[in-house]
């Protein structure tokens, strides 16, 4: 088994409102599963879904790598290298 991040897609005023600043694709669970479909099945009892919403899952390793890369980019922007003129 490997670890997956499960996302809920779709805005809904009850649980994922754009007015509250929530994204259309939002992480809602992180769990061990055999594959992405299995991760969605395992997360389903724990996650509220409305008719206009669905779940997807991605390997946590890939999600973490993207997040770490974004953090490194943000950190680089916060601390630019100043070159002498």
Give the residue extent of every domain in the chain: 2-78
Could you tell me the two tokens for 7?
Answer: 């996302």
Tell me the C-alpha distance between 57 and 35, whole Å: 8
pLDDT in tens, 40-77: 999 999 999 999 999 999 999 988 888 776 555 555 55
pTM: 0.79
Choice between 81 and 60, residue whose per-residue pLDDT is larger: 60
pLDDT in tens, 26-48: 999 999 999 999 999 999 999 99
- Is residue 84 predicted with pLDDT exceeding 70? no
CA nearest to 31, candidates 2, 54, 65, 64:
2
CA dihedral 20, 28, 78, 18 (to 10 degrees): -20
């Amino acid at each position: 088994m490997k670890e997956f991040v499960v996302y809920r897609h779709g805005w809904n005023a009850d649980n994922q409102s754009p007015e509250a600043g929530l994204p259309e694709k939002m992480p809602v669970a992180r769990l061990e599963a055999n594959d992405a479909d299995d991760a969605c099945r395992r997360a389903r009892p724990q996650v509220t879904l409305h008719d206009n919403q669905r779940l997807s899952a991605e390997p946590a390793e890939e999600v973490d790598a993207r997040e770490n890369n974004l953090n490194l980019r943000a950190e680089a922007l916060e601390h630019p290298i100043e070159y002498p003129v």
